[in-house]
């Protein structure tokens, strides 16, 4: 099963076999090794609890790795190594579904055709309630994924909860599933939507087929979705960058502890994509190799980033196979974007910040046309909203009119119009900004600061969402009008600034 949201909590930037200079290591750490061995022998022979040798070895290894303070360096026993490799390649024993995080139960995002789940009648939108009779409510998504996986030919009982309260159980026989690393489709307006879920050794080959198909389209733009992409093989991400960039450009630089630098360039000569506007979607689950790709496209001003701040994994691991079994995943370098940025701990901050999932794709469509105003229209009779020309579900939010004036959901409205919205913990206020336009609102004080002026405001809370009167939005330069059962808003960004549409020389 392919996990959508942070399937790998820690992922490799790339994977390779790395020889160990055992002679040098023996000389420098021999005395320490002898001390550890002596302590382990005394504990094994005399300790009251009669610890097993395996327990002492595990403790020694955990102590060594824990002392580093590096969450990415870890020992991989045989079973964990096998699962790790399967995750990187998207080939594993499972039931053939793709899950996404939802409360309280994980939800089926996709059912693979001709899979055990598909033959059993599972559908998109189904929730996994129990696995082998055990309730999985509130469990981390990786744990649910692991419970559903297993050797091909083994059985697993799954209880499914369907919309409408229907619940049923099925026993599935796991099969070898190979999940494609990407999927794509054409959107209205000749815009290609390409989602890369992870970077496997075959991702560049899959992307080449997509690029060849797009050469036959009258392509107007590309939306590259890297949301919840945990990374994978570094070279795969570098190769995909080659479809967007001219030949000969470095995509990423790695720097080891001695300061040695290594530059990575795309391999092969797949068909280049047309020079059209590109938007990259990202979120907090966008990590490692996915950040490499997004960072390179941003550095070369080839793409606009939309979404929320990425994970911020800027270090490189190697996997060292151990003679005693298993492997050691060890951090050996950090990587830098083409302009020398380190993303470790900081991540990539998008040019267009959108935190609401229901808005991300519509916002991306807007950013393909920077010369147009940002528009939002609420359907006051039938519900829903239009962001630009894209109809969205409005995240279940709708305007309300308790006293004659229309109140609008703050975050949804402003994010739909291109504002970044955040909560200032220290100041206890909501801050929204786009260009020179800024709103700072302290809901408890019923006071807003707009353009340096204090404005009294009576906010509303509707089902936990903050609403503001339409007059506050007009003070931000947003045009608001009521016409034919639609509440329409329009905003021109300050200076009508344009994001780069193509590579700048």
In this structure, the dihedral spanned by the alpha carbons of residues 409, 413, 414 and 417, taken in order and rounded to 10 degrees, is 180
* Three-state DSSP state, 132: coil
Angstrom distance (rounded) from CA 103 to CA 426: 29
**C-alpha dist (Å) from residue 131 to 105, 195, 424:** 11, 29, 40
Contact 311, 9 (CB under 8 A): no
Task: Give me the active site residues, please.
Answer: 288, 299, 313
Angstrom distance (rounded) from CA 16 to CA 319: 6
Beta strands in 286-435 (DSSP E): 304-307, 315-321, 327-336, 352-353, 374-379, 385-387, 390-392, 407-409, 420-424, 429-434
Angstrom distance (rounded) from CA 355 to CA 361: 11
Structure tokens of 291? Answer: 């950040």
Structure tokens of 222? Answer: 């590309």
Contact 431, 440 (CB under 8 A): yes
Judge residue 501's burial from the number of C-beta atoms within 10 Å of its C-beta, 0-12 exposed, 13-18 middle, 19 or more buried: buried
Query: What value does the CA radius of gyration of the chain take, rounded to a whole number of Å?
Result: 26
Q: How far is CA 348 from the centre of its chain?
A: 12
Contact 480, 474 (CB under 8 A): yes
Angstrom distance (rounded) from CA 2 to CA 98: 5
Angstrom distance (rounded) from CA 167 to CA 162: 6
């Amino acid at each position: 099963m392919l996990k959508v949201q942070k399937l790998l909590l820690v992922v490799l930037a790339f994977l390779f076999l790395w020889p160990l200079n055992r002679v040098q290591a023996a000389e420098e750490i021999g005395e320490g090794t002898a001390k550890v061995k002596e302590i382990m022998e005394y504990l094994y022979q005399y300790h009251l609890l009669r610890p097993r040798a395996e327990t002492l070895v595990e403790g020694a290894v955990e102590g060594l790795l824990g002392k580093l303070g590096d969450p990415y360096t870890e020992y991989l026993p045989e079973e964990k190594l096998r699962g790790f490799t399967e995750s990187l390649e998207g080939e594993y024993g499972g039931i053939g579904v793709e899950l996404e995080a939802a409360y309280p139960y994980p939800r089926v995002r996709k059912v693979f055709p001709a899979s055990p789940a598909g033959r059993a009648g599972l559908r998109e939108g189904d929730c996994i309630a129990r696995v082998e009779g055990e309730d999985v409510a509130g469990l981390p998504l990786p744990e649910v994924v692991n419970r559903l996986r297993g050797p091909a030919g083994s059985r697993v009982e799954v209880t499914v909860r369907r919309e409408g309260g229907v619940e049923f159980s099925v026993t599935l026989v796991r099969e070898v599933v190979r999940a494609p690393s990407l999927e794509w489709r054409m959107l209205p307006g000749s815009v290609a939507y390409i989602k890369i879920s992870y970077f496997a050794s075959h991702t560049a080959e899959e992307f080449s087929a997509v690029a060849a198909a797009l050469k036959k389209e009258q392509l107007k733009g590309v939306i590259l979705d890297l949301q919840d992409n945990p990374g994978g093989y570094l070279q795969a991400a570098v190769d995909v960058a080659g479809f967007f960039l001219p030949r000969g450009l470095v995509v990423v630089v790695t720097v080891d502890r001695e300061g040695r630098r290594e530059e990575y360039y795309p391999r092969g000569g797949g068909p280049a994509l047309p020079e059209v506007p590109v938007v990259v979607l990202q979120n907090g689950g966008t990590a490692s190799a996915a950040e490499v790709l997004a960072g390179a496209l941003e550095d070369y001003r080839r793409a606009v980033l939309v979404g929320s701040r990425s994970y911020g994994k800027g270090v490189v691991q190697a996997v060292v196979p151990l003679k005693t079994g298993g492997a050691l995943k060890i951090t050996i370098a950090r990587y830098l974007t083409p302009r020398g940025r380190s993303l470790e701990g900081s991540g990539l901050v998008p040019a267009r910040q959108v935190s609401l999932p229901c808005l991300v794709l519509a916002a991306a469509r807007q950013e393909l046309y920077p010369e147009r105003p940002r528009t939002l229209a609420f359907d006051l009779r039938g519900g829903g909203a239009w962001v630009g020309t894209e109809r969205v579900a409005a995240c279940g939010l709708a305007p309300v009119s308790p006293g004659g004036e229309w109140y609008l959901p703050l975050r949804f409205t402003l994010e739909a119009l291109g504002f970044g919205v955040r909560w200032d913990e220290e100041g206890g206020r909501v801050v929204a900004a786009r260009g020179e336009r800024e709103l700072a609102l302290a809901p408890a004080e019923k006071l807003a600061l707009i353009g340096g002026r204090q404005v009294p405001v009576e906010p509303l809370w509707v089902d936990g969402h903050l609403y503001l009167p339409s007059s506050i939005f007009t003070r931000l330069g947003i045009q608001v009008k009521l016409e034919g059962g639609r509440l329409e808003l329009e905003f021109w960004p300050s200076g009508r600034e344009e994001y780069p549409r193509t590579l700048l020389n």
